[in-house]
Amino acid sequence: MARPPEIRIFHDMQSWAAAAAELVHAVGQEAVRANGRFFIALSGGTTPEILYRALTSPTFADRFNWSQTVFFFSDERGVPPEDPQSNYALANKALFGPLKITPSQVYRMAGESCDPQAAAHEYEQQLRLATKASPSARPSLDLILLGLGEDGHTASLFPGSPALRDNRSLIAVTQSPKGPPTRLTMTLGVINRASVILFLIAGTGKAGVVRAILDPKTEAEQQLPAALVEPEGGRLIWLLDQAAASELPTHQRQMNT
Ligand code: 6PG
């Protein structure tokens, strides 16, 4: 039985970003203490940049030793790594560069590949190798960061996508209704194996879909991709700002700070 999601709501983006950074550090420290390394998957979209800015800020930059961290991506757009729409490009500019992360610590999805299926298969091999997961096992990452689209998509798992029912692949190719069409994405099989899943969500534009997933009224809302994120044994944390939480029922809208 999946644990209920932990809903954390913050007045402003500064306290939201600080809480996100502290969570990443706490999960990282525990992973390194327990296993000598920290497996984290970064989310796409624009919201993670706020977290990256916090993690590289004077307040946090020296608080965590990143040398044991291995970075993956929960999804990538079908564009080259230097393209401004590339999730890797954002992480490289706003996180890896400032923290002096070495290339060997980063597993990038080859969004630019002209054979996305082969790129998905290749990334699946890399993920298994890096996490020492046996051919039949699904790797369990320490932390997976996710965003949320207004249509209820997360990573690059869109409503109606066949990849939502794919319980064999770790990495799938999907089509996005918006932005770069071709996507590579982790499937629910990998996402739900994580020890900690952290949704990073902010802004009024997300209030409706946040309510639809955390307080569903219909079967369709229960079937939205982000609603299917249910860790098999891990923690599920929703980090929201006040605007994104504004349509939640009162009992779910307890402010943190
Ligand atoms: C992507 C993402 C996607 C994103 C949401 C939210 O590559 O587009 O992984 O799932 O997280 O669309 O995006 P914003 O943070 O920009 O609102």
Question: Separation of 43 CA from ligand 1 center, angstroms?
Answer: 7
Using DSSP bridges, classify how beta strands 182-186 and 75-77 pair: parallel, antiparallel or unpaired: antiparallel
Ligand 1 binding pocket includes 75 (Cβ within 6 Å): yes
In tens, the pLDDT along 177-188 reads 988 999 999 999
For 29-85, the pLDDT digits (tens) are: 999 999 999 999 999 999 999 999 999 999 999 999 999 999 999 999 999 999 999
DSSP assignment letter at 3: P
As a whole number, the mean pLDDT across the chain is 96
With contact defined as beta carbons under 8 Å apart, do 76 and 171 qualify? no
The confidence score (pLDDT) of residue 251 equals 86
Q: Give start and end residues of each alpha helix (H) in 38-85.
A: 48-55
In this prediction the pTM is: 0.97
Which pLDDT score is estimated for 1? 63
Q: What is the mean pLDDT of residues 163-185?
A: 96
Distance 47 CA to ligand 1 centre (A): 7
Q: Is the CB of 111 under 6 A from ligand 1?
A: no
> Is 42:145 a contact under the CB 8 Å cutoff?
yes
Q: Are 143 and 29 in contact (CB under 8 A)?
A: no
pLDDT of amino acid 257: 53
Span from the CA of 13 to the centroid of ligand 1 (angstroms): 17
Q: What percent of the chain has pLDDT over 90?
A: 93
> For ligand 1, is residue 44 a contact (CB within 6 Å)?
yes
